[in-house]
Structure 1
């Protein structure tokens, strides 16, 4: 699932001449290295099964595997080291750079391997030049096949991204009216109970809803926190001393971007399904925990038996927030909700700097 683009122009590689960052694999990961090694074994086995080498088939397999492994690992290491530069190239330039890098590594590795094999008594029927050219031809074919597979991957990524953007827009269209109607209900209650506070509440609502409408589809964590603060200020007019909020936030807040209206609906759920359902005062705790590769956001409130329902009531369904996080971050993000030590806790885990949990 694509995780970085924030608007249509950033989503389409054809518009800015570059690839989606998510389209270029993170070559340093263990998964990519294992796949590379597996493909190297498969290629070596294929080359050793050609007709005419029955007597030295396994010797050829071992030698080829040794050479292919070195070429593959060095190429992956160089792609890993140059990934930030490569992903800014136009698509044709990127593919050409990758193929040239593969051919360069193949040429150097083949020349070194030829010399090393001869030093241990290997007798070749061809010169070093023909040996290198032979391996370059194989590398070129493999590289072109890789480009074809990569083009299929990129086309699939574009289709997934377009579908995700459409679904994300549909979810936003459902969230914003819901947010407005619940806030208007709050103002309506204030008009009858505290007319003197109604005017200020309307101004608070105006600021909150302006932020919700004016924001891009992805906003900074600071903007989301500010939106939640304004919503709680609005609820304070109605609930008074019954509502206590414990903010546990680092200074400064992490520089991450997340879908708009991610935190505020969870805070709204906490108010609607906890504070409103008890006569005594209740506390909501909002905490941000910063890790090396992820950010954890915790919203916790008093647990009222029988009152918490993920798909009913005024609060937005937790499943909708989980869906939006999945559309933006894929499997790197998660949402967990449930009772913990007599309180209801919702925990969001969002990748930081492209990491995963």
Structure 2
């Protein structure tokens, strides 16, 4: 393995797959049987299949593979503090030593049978070389998969940080102007707006690998909408549940997951309408999943934004920004929950809807995040 390819942190998780779980045994057995079939076909020649040779080869390969798997599993439990090079070297040596031990035992226990295939020394040497080659190729494959996974996680973390740190400059500028205009007229409302703005920035500075409750995320969205209402006034109406359901306190999600969706609803949906519109939020629970549905009215292509933002609604940059925010949010959910989370969007002539599904049950995510179990 190239030192240039090795991650700098020698204490990083093992690059080997988790072979200590029960569900990992079946693929290992199937792989050994497939290898036995290939060796039998090479031995028997085209058009023939020696079932006795296959049975003996399968027995020997299962003996070697399952023993190696058990020892590598035990090695992983204490070798995580070792560098990746040492982990791979130990796994490779274990595979070779187990193969040599098993082939030597086979040569001693079944000398006549081994003598029919090859001499005892040749049998041990050939099986050891084949084990070294196959184990080396497999370990290289696992290492490349590990690098790919690490690179993908780094890219996702970078996007999470970028999205989490991004508060639209024009939103900050407009918010500060609105707060400044409120100070002489309504100091209490101005103070509340400053607190709402500080809540947004406090969440934006939080680490991306932390999860917050759905209720806390909704309070952030509410703070954002309160600030936008200073700017849009009666043009922005919000249909919000008066009392959040119980599961909102237990469902977990990455911070600033819903806020960009709400921001899109305001920026791309309600703001372009001269008369404004209503942003609606619906929460539900079904089959140990929670569902969040956010909908907003949309303008026809002929309508334009009013006020200082006189831009065609069909502006391609706005559409691209909308899709980019949804794609980033979708990737954040995938990074946190894998396939268990789904983000979908749909539109009719008058309404745009984003639906989000998240798990409520306890699980470990690809980034090592722990989704807390529901309270009974």
Pick one of 272, 281, 285 that aligns with 1:284.
281
Q: CA deviation at 1:138?
A: 3.3
- Compared with structure 1, are the counterparts of its residues 302 and 55 closer, same or farther at alpha carbon in structure 2 (3 Å cutoff)? closer
2:38 match: secondary structure: helix
Distance 1:72 1:344 in 2: 52
2:196 match: secondary structure: helix
Q: Which has the higher contact order (CA 8 A, sep 6+)?
A: 1
Distance 2:159 2:8 in 1: 22
Distance 1:339 1:65 in 2: 57
Note if 1:264 corresponds to 2:259: yes
Distance 1:85 1:325 in 2: 36
CA contact (8 A) 2:269 2:299 kept: no
CA contact (8 A) 2:156 2:331 kept: no
1:204 match: secondary structure: helix
Note if 1:253 corresponds to 2:243: no
Q: CA deviation at 1:255?
A: 5.6
Note if 1:91 corresponds to 2:110: no
Distance 1:285 1:186 in 2: 27
Give the number of aligned pairs.
Answer: 330
Alignment of 1:1-357 (within 5 A): 14-20=7-13, 23-27=15-19, 28=21, 33-34=26-27, 37-38=30-31, 41-42=34-35, 45-46=38-39, 49=42, 59-73=52-66, 75-76=68-69, 87-103=80-96, 106=99, 123-125=113-115, 135-157=127-149, 160=152, 171-172=162-163, 176-178=166-168, 180-186=169-175, 188-189=177-178, 195-196=185-186, 197-212=189-204, 214-222=205-213, 224-235=217-228, 239=233, 242-246=237-241, 247-248=244-245, 250=247, 252-254=249-251, 258=254, 261-272=256-267, 277=273, 283-286=280-283, 291=288, 298-304=292-298, 306=300, 313=318, 317-323=322-328, 325-326=330-331, 329=335, 332=339, 334-339=342-347, 344-349=353-358, 352-354=363-365
- Compared with structure 1, are the counterparts of its residues 85 and 267 closer, same or farther at alpha carbon in structure 2 (3 Å cutoff)? farther
1:37-62 residue CA offsets vs partner (Å, 9 max, x unmatched): 3475246524762699x999553234
Gapped regions of structure 1 (runs ≥ 5): 1-11
CA contact (8 A) 2:10 2:82 kept: yes
* TM-score of the superposed pair, with normalisation by structure 1: 0.65
Q: CA deviation at 1:17?
A: 0.8
Q: CA deviation at 1:65?
A: 2.8
Distance 1:100 1:109 in 2: 14
1:317 match: secondary structure: helix
- Compared with structure 1, are the counterparts of its residues 172 and 35 closer, same or farther at alpha carbon in structure 2 (3 Å cutoff)? same
Distance 2:197 2:364 in 1: 33
- CA RMSD in angstroms comes to 5.1
1:85-104 residue CA offsets vs partner (Å, 9 max, x unmatched): 55454213322342354356
Q: CA deviation at 1:158?
A: 5.1
Q: CA deviation at 1:338?
A: 1.6
Distance 2:92 2:276 in 1: 69
1:176-232 residue CA offsets vs partner (Å, 9 max, x unmatched): 242x422543554566689312343234223322432x2234432246455334323
CA contact (8 A) 1:297 1:348 kept: yes
Gapped regions of structure 2 (runs ≥ 5): 302-312, 368-376
